Chain A
Amino acid sequence: MAPEEICKLITDSGLRGRGGGGFPTGRKWDAARVQNSTKKYVICNGDEGDPGAFMNRSVMEGNPHSVIEGLMIAARAIGASETLIYVRAEYPLAVERVRRAVADAEGEGILGKNVFGTGLSLKCEVMEGAGAFVCGEETAMIASIEGQRGMPRPKPPFPAQSGLWGKPTIINNVETLAHVSRILKVGAEVFKSIGTKDSPGTKTFALTGHVANTGLVEVPFGTTLREIVLNIGGGITDDAGKIWKTGFKAVQIGGPSGGCLTEEHLDLPLAYESLRAVGAMVGSGGLVAMNQGTCMVSIARFFMEFTQRESCGKCVLCREGTNQLLALLDDVIEGRADAGTLELLEKLGHAVQVGSLCGLGKTAPNPVLSTLRYFRKEYEEHIFEKRCRTGRCKALLSPGINEVKCKGCGLCIKACPTGAITGEKKKPHHIDAELCIKCGACATACKIHAVEGI
């Protein structure tokens, strides 16, 4: 097939980037194809870094040749003679398998100097990542490959125009490339027959959290959350791992930069546009299910802490903004927040989202903004009632002993590690708030549930 034909086929198939952005792959290739340059590069992005996501890892470990095949087709499509697979260094087995697959392919004359005896050469290098999450961003990855500090740069110019070493470069995710050879084999129509109109094909999600069955799930786009979480996932579980029929609270979709979805979205068909419309994204496909015992403010804080730590620190809004978002969430969680905090969270979240330099910053506030959107009540409880309905936010707990219930048995006094509880035998006991460390030992010890508020 001629390069134009490959690009057209991939464009017709509607294949979109599986790494997060969902950019049409064919268009990306075409942009690089039309560049007039003697040197072009194709890079496979295997720097999977979302917490809990491992779909790329499974492909690289389980079927590295599908990736190499995709790379070769991409190289042919844009006219590149060099390709590179950038694998997360924390995936030693993936690194080993990909390296071996490349060596095997070279041994078979599939890669290297004389590809399939055509006289054409195609180099494929394998490079280990440098350990930074942000290197999954394409311009940061290019900087990292060039030996620079992994920091994104402004676009334009886009990598397809000026990428690695200033040459036209396309960067595709592992999963995207793994789809390519199938599309060439079965044709665009067959590929499009799966999934939705705007999001054809299948997508692998990494399902984790409070579900009975965790692991990788490959489903056609358009599959509902209900199907994935409640059916394939086997339903929501409690903290002990038992099925909790009414326990569904939310899912965090799209990794740390994704968003939280609620019960009202259970029947939403999962696709690029539908998710964006509700403030979430497909992302790389992380799917964390959460039960009713989960504090949504704490969840937002967890993801915020991750992006804050992984920010490359280049642009002001991401570096300082994520740090302040984190500080504001801490205020909420630790009872220091007031009415202004919510407003500031929203304004700052919006500023970081709109104004940041790269995708990491632009999506970093998503967990905060989406939980604010769908679980505002919980934020308000934390702020105005100084109460966390799940009891996870320790600072908001105010344990007390119900004087009516308490029989003065003294079990709580024995259990308390700080000596915060006093009281005469057979008379209601009392907790000294100054000494109490809110560990909950008293509540566990009390057989008649007289300790409340913890």
Chain B
Amino acid sequence: MNKATESTLTIDGRTVAIEGEQNLLELVRKANIDLPTFCYHSELSVYGACRLCLVQVEGRGISGACSTPPEPGLKVLTTTPEIREIRKIAVELLLANHDQSCPTCSRSANCQLQSLAQRLGIKKVRFKSVHQPVPLDESSPSLVRDPNKCVLCGDCVRMCSEIQGIGAIDFSHRGHEVMVQPAFGKPLGEVECVNCGQCASVCPTGALTIKSEVDKVWELIADKAKTVIVQIAPAVRVGLGECFGLKPGEITTGRIVAALKHLGFNQVYDTSFAADLTVIEEGTEFLERKTQGGTLPMFTSCCPGWVKYTEQYFPELLPNLSTCRSPQAMFGSLVKAMLPDQMKIERKDLKVVAIMPCTAKKFEAQRPEMGVDGDPDVDYVLTTQELAHMIQSAGIMFDTLQPESFDMPFGFYTGAGVIFGNSGGVMEAVLRYAAEKATGQRLEQVDFQQVRGDSGLREATITVNGSELKLAVVHGLRNARVVAEQVRAGKSRYDLIEVMACPGGCIGGAGQPVSTTRDTRALRTKGLYHADKMLQLHKSQDNVFITECYAKFLGDIGGEKAHHLLHTTYQSRRRIADESLALMQSENEDKLKVSVCLGTNCFLKGSQEVLNGVLRHGEQSGMEGKLDVRAGFCFEKCESGPTVMIGGEHIPNCNAAKAIEEIDRRIENDEPAGTCNGHSCNHCGK
């Protein structure tokens, strides 16, 4: 116990030193009292909504510990009969407005509401249920939003806006009708959510959960006509153990392989192999850009959350994004191109499952460009959590499994591939390649400590071959925004920027077991660096199977085949493409498509009158059946508005007379749709 001094206060009669804590809650927890909270996260702003951390301060009454600054001499009581009763009432109130289908809830095992009810000894809810069921939102490829389980702590809202800088969800309505949802009640799958899932990782209940693909994978494994191969991402090996009582950061690679073989996967591979491949491609791309005057700075493109974020908010920076696919995507693309021939099976019978620490990877796998003729390169993505469920469901005793090794060749990897899971890992791995490549000399000291660490934005300058490389490593998309804005403004001094959406990088991904505190993250990070240390090879270029892969299959690094299989293109998502309102529709296939922009700029310039004129003309001239008239949102041609698209052609500075003239001309000449369908073609300019 501390001695009472000028910078101490008492908590439940025991003296506690104030050592820079921001609030009483931190102090109380330091004093080994686990004051319950729903809405307090040290990395988010103080919210003060759950009212569970109430404490009594002598002379001041009862207030939230989270929002009370520590002051010397305070006498704090954490559990008086009055506070106990209020706390119980608060939890009972939540339970009375909660969908209590707990046994079937995916968070049943680690639900804070449930454990709190137990802790506080709530045997009966004194209030009657006021819960009104609302439908689930399953529109997102990555997440399920179940408002029936929401306790409105706002953790997800603050995570999305404060750490990720997005704000895809927020509170709506008032009183007991309040709920957390995307703007205008839209489905999560249709808004600016980047699928990072950090909202789900801070959700104390089952209101935001990972969209499970476990059942589909069970089906796949049972299908004897299919060859099912699985890849596991680097970060999974330091996270999965937590679901089985092991310490965060404990490396369980061998046991994961054994478990996956137990589950019935035909081949078990490592995404780290593809990470090595990414290093070679991305490193080469970077050196080319650097030496041949390409677009710099170059951003890494491994993180699907970051990629979608760039497409949405910084489409002008898409040329800065490395064209390399992510390791997951490279893996899928490569094996589906190589293995069918080798195994003498058809591509459709080869199925790829990826085990990822990430929810956004589910979205990435579904991107149309990550597949061939509609057959995805990666069929299903399971998160670390989902794999744990499969292992538990199969009854496999994970902690006592005998380790097994990966299959070859895609199970062979270097330490450079493994550290991909850490923030700064991709940067370090690329440096290990680029430094050697640029100098032509063997790199002995492979650790680049300058790019390691926990800070959200880290900078480093490295001199290679006499020239300076300015580097930045960012995690958390809000931090990324700062850097991206610098680049957009032409004020960035970096050459290469690594961005990971999740705090800490992939090891802090939302697919990992819940409890992403700073401590857990640090242990996982350490685990991956340790895994690197334990390997004989630390540089991707030393991976003999990669070399063999290029020699026998891919051809040149960055060559045509490599480009086709390992690189990709991006699209601007600044506008919601299908956001248009049909006003005059036609079943006729040869209809002439007319789309009038009603965005603010065009509207102010009179596009509403153009639209009215076109509609009136259509009706009066009996053109129903020949015309398809829509009110569009924005074609990004604001400077020459009002913008009207007729048969795919952009009519700048349009007015009603001009539009009608063009419509009449086309109908007369029987010249309906152009190559574009008008409203959705924002890019080609036609």
Contacts and interface: CB of A to CB of B under 8 A. Distances in A.
B491 interface: no
A347 interface: yes
Nearest to A348: B89
Interface stretch (B91-99, B242-250, B404-412, B497-505): B91-99
A312 interface: yes
B67 interface: yes
A356 B171 contact: no
A151 interface: yes
A324 B96 contact: yes
B569 to A, nearest CB: 37
A294 interface: no
B175 A313 contact: yes
Nearest to A320: B93
Most buried by A among B54, B93, B170: B93
A132 interface: yes
A309 B94 CA distance: 18
B339 interface: no
Interface in B76-130: 82, 85-86, 89-90, 93-94, 96-97, 126-128, 130
A315 B49 contact: yes
B581 to A, nearest CB: 27
Given A313-B171, A316-B49, A323-B130, A351 B90 contact: yes
B50 A315 contact: yes
Contact of A319 (B47, B89, B152): B152
Interface in B661-682: none
Contact of A317 (B51, B69, B173, B175): B51
A323 B174 contact: no
B48 interface: yes
A220 to B, nearest CB: 31
Contact of A321 (B50, B89, B177): B89
B97 A313 contact: no
Interface in A342-389: 344, 347-348, 351, 354-357
Interface string B36-75: 0000000000111111001000000110101111000000
A321 B175 contact: no
Nearest to B179: A313
Contacts of A340: 126
Contact of A316 (B90, B173, B174): B90
B86 A319 contact: no
A329 to B, nearest CB: 13
Contacts of A147: none
Contacts, number: 111
Contacts of A155: 67
B683 interface: no
B86 A315 contact: no
A319 B126 contact: no
A308 B175 contact: yes
A154 B49 CA distance: 8
A316 B50 contact: yes
Nearest to B38: A316
A388 to B, nearest CB: 22
Nearest to A150: B174
Interface in A416-435: none
Interface in A123-153: 132, 134, 149, 151, 153
Contacts of B130: 320, 323-324, 327
A247 B46 CA distance: 51
A324 B67 contact: no
Interface in B142-156: 151-152, 154
Given A317-B93, A355-B51, A323 B175 contact: yes
Interface in B168-185: 170-171, 173-178
Contacts of B174: 132, 134, 309-313
B85 A308 contact: no
Contacts of B173: 313
Interface residues on A, range: 20 to 34
A314 B175 contact: no
B67 A156 contact: yes
Contact of A154 (B48, B90, B127, B151): B48
B85 A320 contact: no
A356 B86 CA distance: 10
Contacts of A356: 51
B391 to A, nearest CB: 36
Given A154-B66, A323-B175, A355-B62, A316 B151 contact: yes
B69 A351 contact: no
A347 B89 CA distance: 9
A382 B94 CA distance: 28
Contact of B171 (A151, A153, A322): A151
Contact of B94 (A310, A311, A320): A320
Contacts of A310: 174-175
B147 to A, nearest CB: 13
Given A354-B62, A355-B51, A323 B176 contact: yes
Nearest to A321: B93
A310 B174 CA distance: 7
A308 B67 contact: no
Contacts of A153: 47-48
A344 B62 CA distance: 21
Interface string B298-319: 0000000000000000000000
Nearest to A156: B69
B86 A355 contact: yes
A319 B176 contact: yes
Contacts of A316: 49-51, 90, 93-94, 151-152
A320 B48 contact: no
Contacts of A323: 97, 130, 175-176
Contacts of A313: 152, 171, 173-178
A344 B89 CA distance: 10
Contacts of B126: 340, 344
A354 B51 CA distance: 10
A354 B86 contact: yes
A312 B154 CA distance: 13
B177 to A, nearest CB: 7
Interface in A204-241: none
B85 to A, nearest CB: 7
Contacts of B178: 312-314, 319
The list of the 9 closest CB pairs from A to B, nearest first, reads A313-B178, A154-B67, A154-B48, A320-B93, A323-B176, A351-B89, A351-B86, A355-B86, A315-B49
Given A154-B46, A320-B96, A351-B89, 4 more contacts: A154-B67, A310-B175, A323-B175, A323-B176
Interface of A: 132, 134, 149, 151, 153-156, 308-317, 319-324, 327, 340, 344, 347-348, 351, 354-357
24 contacts: A149-B170, A151-B171, A156-B67, A312-B178, A313-B152, A313-B171, A314-B171, A314-B178, A315-B48, A315-B50, A316-B49, A316-B152, A317-B86, A317-B89, A319-B175, A323-B175, A327-B128, A327-B130, A348-B89, A351-B85, A351-B86, A355-B86, A357-B49, A357-B64
Interface of B: 46-51, 54, 61-62, 64, 66-69, 82, 85-86, 89-90, 93-94, 96-97, 126-128, 130, 151-152, 154, 170-171, 173-178
